[in-house]
Structure 1
Amino acid sequence: MTKPLRREDRRLDDAAAMALLKRGEYGILSTSDQSNRPYGIPVNYVVMQESIFFHCATEGQKLENITANKTVSFCVVGKTELIPEKFSTRYESVVVSGTAEMIEDDVLKKNVLRALVAKYAPEHTSSGEAYIDKLMDQTAVVQVCIAHLAGKSRK
């Protein structure tokens, strides 16, 4: 169960929160290990099928933590602007909670990698395809199934 937003007047509706999630450049993935030690790391990602997908090496802290505890949080911050005279900031952000798992299906994995190329390097799709083929076996893809999404903004 999630707590209600403290500033309900700043809540983004679900459509606006999802739009911010989809257009974000990177997000911070937060996990915890088997001893509940937290770990947050920025990742490039893509939203497909109402889930968040990212790629990584086939071993490392992210995957160890996800194996130990599939519950994760993912945060994206959009546009920000300092308002010094008000000691505040204009912002937009979205926080997701959900569960993460490695993708084993090669067709889905390749589609996610293609979507990442389309998002981050759209002018390099043909060389991206070759890059995917070359490194597919050395690349893991993780899906975060969204259980809860909440966006906030200060205009």
Structure 2
Amino acid sequence: MFRKMRRNKQLLSAEETIDILTKGTSGVLAVQGDDNYPYAVPLSYIYYENKIYFHGAKVGHKLDAIRKQPKASFCVIDQDSVVPEEYTTYFRSVIAFGKVHIISKESDMRYAIHALAAKFHPHDSNENREKAIDREWKPLCMFVLEIEHMTGKEAIELVRAK
């Protein structure tokens, strides 16, 4: 169902791929938008147990697209070092494919937003975190991308340097 990566020498191991997703703070979600145009939106996320969690509003293009077609891809760039004299970049990235679902159960939503908030402000108190979440709760929508396939890839120059 999913294509094999053409340049398989550049394929990262599952461990390296998961490490990139775990360390990353932002990525780009691509969904099928209005009039079947691709809609790619950058967002903050957290990776946990082969799933990517992110938030958004209860109205908008992203939500409408996900409701229409839950299939999506998500891309994270770990490294992108420009090497001008070689006319290239030394990169490391991950692309994940799967289906996005709106989290509807309140306890699951709270768990996901707490995990996301803790990733971005790990030293905040639980009390402060809870207050911030409560302030934004009413318009909040939480999503989960259940990963069906993912690949990590790096520049051939990085492969050769190993």
Give the structure-2-normalised TM-score: 0.91
CA positional deviation for 1:19: 1.0
Structure 1: runs of 5 or more not aligned: none
Structure 2 distance, partners of 1:85, 1:4, is 31
Specify the alignment match of 1:85 in structure 2.
Answer: 85
Superposed, which structure 2 residues align to 1:1-155 within 5 Å?
A: 1-33=1-33, 35-125=35-125, 126-154=127-155, 155=158
CA contact (8 A) 1:101 1:142 kept: yes
Q: Percent of pairs identical after alignment? A: 28
Give the structure-1-normalised TM-score: 0.94
CA positional deviation for 1:26: 0.1
CA contact (8 A) 1:53 1:143 kept: yes
CA positional deviation for 1:47: 1.2
CA contact (8 A) 2:71 2:98 kept: yes
- How many residues align? The count is 155
State the one-letter code of the partner of 2:152: G
- Secondary structure of 2:31's match? strand
Moved over 4 A (4+): none
CA contact (8 A) 1:71 1:99 kept: yes
**Deviation larger for 96-105 or 44-53:** 44-53
- Secondary structure of 1:4's match? coil
Structure 2 distance, partners of 1:91, 1:128, is 35
State the one-letter code of the partner of 2:90: R
CA positional deviation for 1:49: 2.8
